[in-house]
Amino acid sequence: MKKKTNILLIYTGGTIGMVKDYKTGALKAFNFDELVKNIPELKQLDCNLRGVSFDDPIDSSNMNPHYWAVIASIIEEHYEDNDGFVVLHGSDTMSYSASALSFMLENLQKPVIFTGSQLPIGDLRTDAKENLITSIEIAALQKKGKPVLQEVGLYFEYKLYRGNRTTKINAEHFEAFDSLNYPPLVESGVHLKVHHNYLIKKVTKNKSLQVHKKMDNRVAILKLFPGINQNVLQSVLAIPDLKALILETYGAGNAPMDEWFLNAIKKSVENGLHIINVTQCSGGSVFMGHYETSEKLREMQLVNGKDITTEAAVTKAMYLLGTGVPDKLFKTIFETPLRGEMV
């Protein structure tokens, strides 16, 4: 007889875990028993479900590296006893959290799936049931006794994406997320269609999970815009103790050619600031040197963000700084795909 898989639900907060108090109309956070009461279908799933919750569930706008470490610790603590993990999370910062956890969980060989909803579970038209049930089903998928998925994913509205490739694109639609530079890993229709060739291939056999909880938040994002002035640039570059700057450039990695702009960037790089060139387009890749407007940045040794999302760039920078990567290796390691986050 096939043994049932054990799936752990981790509730951090967010709309998905809200239940409407019909007397007052207010939304309140549920406990695990209430969730099962609201979704009786969970009992039909062919797996053993257990739940843990943050002591004080948070709105995802309050998410930060401390809470990422809490999620990572919960997974570490329950890793041996479970075959998969489903993290219930508010949608606003879910792409950041999924990206962060992908870096923090090294040698992950089990699924960690982030999901949430646009409407609360108790709502008549909720998207929470489908998102949660299918996330659990995907987390429970096994082949020859091993989990099919061995990475951090994000499931929303019939599609499972690689977590560190996602971006929230809509505040109202049920299709709230997209992964513009990488195809879905699993699509949910009448059957679950797994695209095996897109999954991370594990070459590291029997390496045990390593959890990195130290994320260094001495990072910033600067989005270029026509008319950006010298004071704005200088004030960002002069942030005390700043270690990494995500520079959101135009198109394929292009920036203004003004002397003051290039000089300020050059000086900061020479002073040891890691500046990562990431496109502000939703999809596509940085290709430094393709135009004259990016050739200068390449000559200055800016880090090439390639097709990474801003969310993954921020969390990867925090992760590399947190693990104490030497300055002279930062650029090389950042430009190397670690968890399938870039080409």
Active site residues: 15
**CA-based angle 244:249:250, to the nearest 5?**
175
User: What's the length of the chain?
Assistant: 343
Spatial distance between the Cα atoms of 38 and 29, rounded to a whole number of angstroms: 13
Residue 56 is given by DSSP the state S
Q: Which two tokens stand for residue 102?
A: 């992908």
**CA-based angle 35:21:40, to the nearest 5?**
25
Give the per-residue SS3 of 119-140: CCCCCCCCCHHHHHHHHHHHHC
**C-beta neighbour count of 129 within 10 angstroms:** 16
Q: Which two tokens stand for residue 164?
A: 């560190």
Q: Which of these, 123, 217, 219, 215, lies nearest to 174 by C-alpha position?
A: 123
**In 189-322, which ranges are E strands?**
192-194, 210-211, 219-223, 244-249, 274-279, 303-304
| Burial (0-12, 13-18, 19+ Cβ within 10 Å), 70 | middle
Please enumerate in sequence order all residues whose Cβ is within 8 A of that of 291, keeping only pairs 6 or more positions apart, or say none.
Answer: 252, 254
Q: How many CA atoms lie within 13 A of 55 on its CB side?
A: 2
Q: Which two tokens stand for residue 224?
A: 């270029």
- 112: three-class secondary structure by DSSP: strand
Q: Which of these, 289, 225, 279, lies nearest to 256 by C-alpha position?
A: 225
Q: Report the first-to-last Cα separation within the chain, whole angstroms.
A: 42
Identity of the amino acid at 183:
P
Q: Name 50's bridge partners.
A: 8
